[in-house]
């Protein structure tokens, strides 16, 4: 199943995890530590069938804390990758329900793939083109192909395992964050 199809079929927890995983992998661009989004991941592990009620309030409060923690300078002087990561965080919905959650997860998918295309040292050609999400990874630069596989993997884990898929989804995201942190660090050294 393609990434587009997986997003279309995902439940609220899968959509929230998908968007959160994309954001989590891009935390190095926001100068965040590896634990920055951990409270939101913990809220998704709640056994409730949805995130309404107290869990919904907790999500909104946790999201506000994460935004405060990752608040950076005005985006005026930042490069496109950082701006895209900030937009993912700013657009996160205050509730883990409704069509806005699917819209956010989809936008995070597109933004994260775009970020990986911008940062991929091998993918100089077609940096402006959108990454196709309805096919395989053939012809994609390595960093972008790996991100597409991670996004698909997270959604498949949640679809197959439900709440039990959160831990392995977090592990997938953590691996991707380490890779992107190394790319960002190398890029910073190259500019110095």
In whole angstroms, give the CA distance from residue 89 to residue 108: 9
- Integer Cα distance of 102 and 89 in angstroms: 15
Per-residue pLDDT tens digits of the chain, which is 192 residues long: 899 999 999 999 999 999 999 999 999 999 888 899 999 999 998 755 444 444 567 899 999 999 999 877 655 557 899 999 999 999 999 988 889 999 999 999 999 999 999 998 876 545 556 777 887 788 888 999 999 999 999 999 999 999 999 999 999 999 999 999 999 998 888 776
Residue 106 to residue 125: CA distance in whole angstroms = 24
Q: What is the pTM of this model?
A: 0.89
Provide, rounded to the nearest whole percent, the portion of the chain with pLDDT above 70.
88
Three-state secondary-structure class, residue 12: helix
pLDDT score, position 134: 82
| CB half-sphere exposure, 152, CA atoms < 13 A | 17
Q: What is the pLDDT of residue 190?
A: 77
Torsion of CA 14, 8, 136, 156, to 10 degrees: 30
Contact 135, 2 (CB under 8 A): yes
Give the chain's mean pLDDT: 87
* Euclidean distance between CA atoms 73 and 61, whole angstroms: 22
Residue pLDDT, tens place only, 75-118: 555 789 999 999 999 999 998 888 999 999 999 999 999 999 99
């Amino acid at each position: 199943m393609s990434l587009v199809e997986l997003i279309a079929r995902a439940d609220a927890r899968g959509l929230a995890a998908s968007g959160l995983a994309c954001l989590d992998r891009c935390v190095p661009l926001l100068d965040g530590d590896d634990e920055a989004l951990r409270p939101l991941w913990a809220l998704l592990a709640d056994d409730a069938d949805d995130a309404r009620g107290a869990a919904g309030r907790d999500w909104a409060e946790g999201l506000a804390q994460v935004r405060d923690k990752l608040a950076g300078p005005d985006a005026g002087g930042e490069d496109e990758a950082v701006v895209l990561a900030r937009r993912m965080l700013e657009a996160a919905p205050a509730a883990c329900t409704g069509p806005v959650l699917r819209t956010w997860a989809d936008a995070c998918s597109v933004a994260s793939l775009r970020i990986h295309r911008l940062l991929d040292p091998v993918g100089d050609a077609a940096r402006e083109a959108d990454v196709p999400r309805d096919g395989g990874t053939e012809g994609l630069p390595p960093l972008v192909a790996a991100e597409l596989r991670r996004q698909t993997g997270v959604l498949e884990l949640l679809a197959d395992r439900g709440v039990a898929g959160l831990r392995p989804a977090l592990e997938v995201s953590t691996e991707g964050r380490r890779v992107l942190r190394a790319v960002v660090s190398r890029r910073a050294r190259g500019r110095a």
